[in-house]
Amino acid sequence: MVRIKMPRGAAYKPLSRRHNRILVYALLGGITIGFLYYCSGPIDALAVPFSAHEAYMNDRANVDGFISRGSYDWRKAPFHNKIESYTPLPAGKPRTLPPIQFDFPPETSSQKARRESRRVAVRNEFERSWGSYKKYAWTRDELMPLTGKGDDTFGAWGATLVDSLDTLWMMGFKDDFYDAVEAVAHIDFGKSSMNTISVFETTIRYLGGLLSAYDLSNEKVLLDKAIQLGEMLYRAFDTTNNMPLDRLPIETAKRAEAPGFSADNQICFAAIGSLTMEFTRLAQITQQPKFYDAVARVTALLDRAQNTTRIPGLFPTWINAQHEDLAHDRSFTLGAMADSSYEYFPKMYALLGGLEPVYEKLYKDSAPLIDKHMLFRPMIPDTQVGQDLLYCGNVDAYDDVEIKVDPRMQHLTCFIGGFFALAGRIFENTHDVDLGAKLTEGCIFAYKSMPTGVMPEIFHTAVCESRLSCPWNQTFYEEEVLKHSYKNKGDFEATVQEKRLPKGFTNLDDKRYLLRPEAIESVFIMYRITGYEEYLDHAWDMFVSVQKGSTTKYGNGQMLDVTANPPGVPEDKMESFWLAETLKYFYLIFSPPDMIDLDDWVFNTEAHPFRRPKLTKMEAGG
Ligand SMILES: *[C@@H]1O[C@H](CO)[C@@H](O)[C@H](O)[C@H]1NC(C)=O
Ligand SMILES: *[C@@H]1O[C@H](CO)[C@@H](O)[C@H](O)[C@H]1NC(C)=O
């Protein structure tokens, strides 16, 4: 790859510290600026266009000549189950897809002042956790936010380090970004202190993180690391039918005399179906078709099998990858174990520049069935509010029994608002955008309903018979609450009290909040699509509540009970997605809308944006 040197920008320092601010202030001087400064908050002069931010961040790229280290060259590792010919990346010039983002008008100075002060608050929150990570858990997978220690959970290669790279870049932490790049260059993907690694988690967090940071910065060592890691993960496809393993045994994968692997006879849909974006981006950048071929084979299986499942069109939670059987499992969900594979259908379509119709087909044959069988309107006392809400539950498909939704809503499933809205824009389907808005509204409502202002990990509500009309029915509500009552069997009031159930909620199956991003992710996407200002206020409320409930001495920890107000002491756990996803989406919604424009970038499921292919100006006839 020829690296295109980014232009050296003016000496712009984004959101810089106090002394820089004073310097800028003094330089520019004058009452005008002083007045702007006064009414727009401290960083007004620094909210520059994306291209200037890019030039500022990247004028250092490659100057330090970071060298990628590694104790083993995965390119030389065996691959027993040879592939005769590779499926090539789709040929042709990328199509111009319908616009995703709202055409934002210039903001007023008061809008700007509010947005910027919120943006700084998010950035400060990131800086606090990142500072502790640097000091107490550097190069470990996670910071323990209560005790200030390090922990290893995902291969022990520094999950938080790699996962945070692009957030550092976006937030303008230039020195920290290049310090992190240097540490990443030293990661040894040649071995792991763990026997097996999760192929899915390693792909979305590490490979996605490296590729995204490379796409943003053009820093070559990041691509070198992505190739090292990609070569290792590619060994997960060394199975008799080339379907990827759930977990890769690292040392076995190196052994020439070992026979390769057999694919899993039970792997969840998310683990097999959501490697596509990362491997495709790696293939696009390296022009090595084998990386695309690997995931294209999985997609071909999903395409073949889509109408063979218990609910033709939908994909079950569990798949027999060894026998390529999707007809067995009866459980269907858009939550844990399935979510991101659906998410990747429209995103893959965008990443491939609209040149691969299979992803449109996979989406269009599944989305109406999700709508029909899994989406439901919750019964809540305020029918005015209720008519704008949707949730997504699970279904089990038993023979000869009507398919009925289990109204079990997970925080993980909150990605679905952004998912439907994004796909609705890409495929020009306003019904789906509308579903996305209501699903997002559902998650916002769940946040607002809890005493801490934070949605729990899993809850149940009562299901409306009709989405159009749904009067409150106390008898029905009490029946539904008692279905989940074990301790106070038969006593409605006692059950409500014991579980601290907000009205409308029939059970809080898991009261924790694990610092997850999916709700703010959807709010962010809805905002970028519609430009509606109320999303900014919802996002801010969510941020303030999460901050209040999760702040610890060293960072932020998982909340144990979102109904306990004041909130209790958080758990000593901060997964890498807090810095990689949650705070990134909070930051982006309060950034100018050209900061990671959805018409130029597409996010993987770990909030790592990949560059979308575009016609050059000349090709587009411009
Ligand atoms: C699968 O089923 C759906 C719904 O019945 C139908 O519209 C579609 O054409 C089918 N696809 C294939 C490839 O058979
Ligand atoms: C309210 O719910 C109860 C229990 O499910 C049901 O029997 C009754 O018909 C419902 N009332 C109305 C007005 O729908």
Binding residues: 605
Cα separation, 424 vs 429, in Å, equals: 4
Q: Which of the four pLDDT bands, split at 50, 70 and 90, describes residue 326?
A: very high
In the block, tokens 């559902």 appear at 442
In the block, tokens 């950035």 appear at 123
561 touches 454 (CB < 8 A): no
Q: Which residues contact 34 (CB under 8 A, 6 or more apart)?
A: 25
Q: Is the CB of 51 under 6 A from ligand 1?
A: no
Cα separation, 438 vs 305, in Å, equals: 30
Ligand nearest to the CA of 478: 2
User: Residue 100 above 80 pLDDT?
Assistant: yes
- Lowest mean pLDDT segment, chosen from 97-106, 254-263, 289-298: 254-263
Listed residue (137, 191, 190) closest to 164, CA to CA: 137
Could you tell me the two tokens for 354? 């609209």
- The residue-averaged pLDDT of 85-110 equals 97
Q: Is the CB of 365 under 6 A from ligand 1?
A: yes
Ligand 2 center to 472 CA (angstroms): 10
- The residue-averaged pLDDT of 225-233 equals 98
- Could you tell me where the DSSP H helices lie in 516-589? 518-530, 534-550, 577, 583-589
* DSSP secondary structure code for residue 190 in this structure: T
Q: Considering the entire predicted model, what is its pTM? A: 0.93
What 178-181 contacts at long range (C-beta under 8 Å, 24+ apart), as own/partner pairs, is 178/60, 178/64, 179/134, 181/66, 181/213, 181/217, 181/219, 181/221, 181/222
Ligand 2 center to 474 CA (angstroms): 8
Q: Report which protein residue has its CA nearest ligand 2's atom 12.
A: 473
- Just give the CATH number of 355-574: 1.50.10.10
For 503, other C-beta atoms within 10 Å of its C-beta total: 12
pLDDT digits (tens, 9 = 90+) for 126-144: 999 999 999 999 999 999 9
Q: Which of the four pLDDT bands, split at 50, 70 and 90, describes residue 61?
A: confident
> Which residues, listed in sequence order, are joined to residue 574 by a DSSP beta bridge?
143
Share above pLDDT 70 across residues of the chain, in percent, rounded to a whole number: 92
In the block, tokens 């909040």 appear at 513
- The residue-averaged pLDDT of 389-404 equals 94
Q: Which atom of ligand 2 is nearest to the CA of 473?
A: 1
Q: Which of the four pLDDT bands, split at 50, 70 and 90, describes residue 19?
A: very low
Q: Report which protein residue has its CA nearest ligand 1's atom 2.
A: 307
Per-residue H/E/C for 337-404: CCHHHHHHHHHHHHHCCCCCHHHHHHHHHHHHHHHHHHEECECCCCHHHHCCCCEECEEECCCCCCCC
For 408, other C-beta atoms within 10 Å of its C-beta total: 18
134 touches 554 (CB < 8 A): no
Ligand nearest to the CA of 476: 2
φ, ψ dihedrals at 206, nearest 5°? -80, -55
Cα separation, 564 vs 516, in Å, equals: 18
- The residue-averaged pLDDT of 294-318 equals 98
pLDDT at 28: 47
464 touches 376 (CB < 8 A): yes
Listed residue (367, 350, 379, 352) closest to 296, CA to CA: 352
Cis peptide before 566 (omega within 30 of 0): yes
* 228, HSE (Cβ side, Cα atoms, 13 Å): 24
Q: Which residues contact 253 (CB under 8 A, 6 or more apart)?
A: 77, 232, 235, 238
User: Residue 194 above 90 pLDDT?
Assistant: yes
pLDDT at 382: 98
φ, ψ dihedrals at 396, nearest 5°? -115, 135
Cα separation, 131 vs 152, in Å, equals: 18
Q: Report which protein residue has its CA nearest ligand 1's atom 5.
A: 312
For 98, other C-beta atoms within 10 Å of its C-beta total: 12
- What distances in angstroms separate CA 426 from CA 275, 437, 529, one per listed residue? 21, 15, 11
- Triad 174, 202, 316: Cα angle to 5°: 130
In the block, tokens 């909150």 appear at 414
595 touches 588 (CB < 8 A): yes
pLDDT at 23: 45
pLDDT at 6: 37
Share above pLDDT 90 across residues of the chain, in percent, rounded to a whole number: 88
Could you tell me the two tokens for 346? 């429209």
Cα separation, 556 vs 548, in Å, equals: 10
Cα separation, 465 vs 379, in Å, equals: 9
Q: Report which protein residue has its CA nearest ligand 1's atom 8.
A: 365
Q: Which atom of ligand 1 is nearest to the CA of 307?
A: 1
Cα separation, 148 vs 472, in Å, equals: 48
DSSP three-state, residue 109: helix
Question: Where does CATH 1.50.10.10 sit in the chain?
Answer: 123-329, 355-574
Q: Is the CB of 368 under 6 A from ligand 1?
A: no
Q: Is the CB of 303 under 6 A from ligand 1?
A: no
- The residue-averaged pLDDT of 153-169 equals 98
- Lowest mean pLDDT segment, chosen from 56-60, 310-314, 366-370: 56-60
Q: Report which protein residue has its CA nearest ligand 2's atom 4.
A: 476
Q: Is the CB of 179 under 6 A from ligand 1?
A: no
Pocket test for ligand 2, best of 466, 469, 472, 473 (most atoms within 8 A of CB): 473
Mean pLDDT of the residues in the chain: 93
167 touches 180 (CB < 8 A): no
pLDDT at 621: 67
Q: Report which protein residue has its CA nearest ligand 2's atom 11.
A: 473
- Triad 413, 417, 421: Cα angle to 5°: 145
Ligand 2 cavity residues, CB under 6 Å:
473, 475-476, 479
Cα separation, 235 vs 254, in Å, equals: 9
- Triad 127, 133, 137: Cα angle to 5°: 175
Q: Report which protein residue has its CA nearest ligand 2's atom 14.
A: 473
Ligand nearest to the CA of 362: 1
pLDDT at 487: 87
358 touches 374 (CB < 8 A): no
pLDDT at 258: 84
Ligand 1 center to 345 CA (angstroms): 17
Ligand 1 center to 233 CA (angstroms): 33
User: Which overall architecture, per CATH, does domain 123-329 show?
Assistant: Alpha/alpha barrel (1.50)
Binding residues for Ca(2+): 605
Q: Is the CB of 29 under 6 A from ligand 1?
A: no
Cα separation, 256 vs 423, in Å, equals: 44
pLDDT at 619: 79
Cα 549 vs. chain centroid, distance in angstroms?
A: 22
Listed residue (520, 608, 533) closest to 212, CA to CA: 608
- The residue-averaged pLDDT of 580-592 equals 98
Ligand 1 center to 423 CA (angstroms): 19
Q: Is the CB of 308 under 6 A from ligand 1?
A: no
Catalytic residues: 201, 339, 457, 518
Q: Which residues contact 27 (CB under 8 A, 6 or more apart)?
A: none
Ligand nearest to the CA of 480: 2
User: Residue 11 above 90 pLDDT?
Assistant: no
φ, ψ dihedrals at 186, nearest 5°? -90, -5
DSSP three-state, residue 413: helix
pLDDT digits (tens, 9 = 90+) for 478-536: 999 999 998 888 899 999 999 999 999 999 999 999 999 999 999 999 999 999 999 99
Ligand 1 center to 334 CA (angstroms): 20
Cα separation, 594 vs 583, in Å, equals: 18
Q: Which of the four pLDDT bands, split at 50, 70 and 90, describes residue 227?
A: very high
Ligand 1 center to 193 CA (angstroms): 46
In the block, tokens 């159930």 appear at 501
Per-residue H/E/C for 478-533: HHHHHHCCCCCCCCHHHHHHHHCCCCCEEEEEECCECCCCHHHHHHHHHHHHHCCC
Listed residue (473, 462, 450, 489) closest to 406, CA to CA: 462
Burial class (CB in 10 A: 0-12, 13-18, 19+), 254: middle
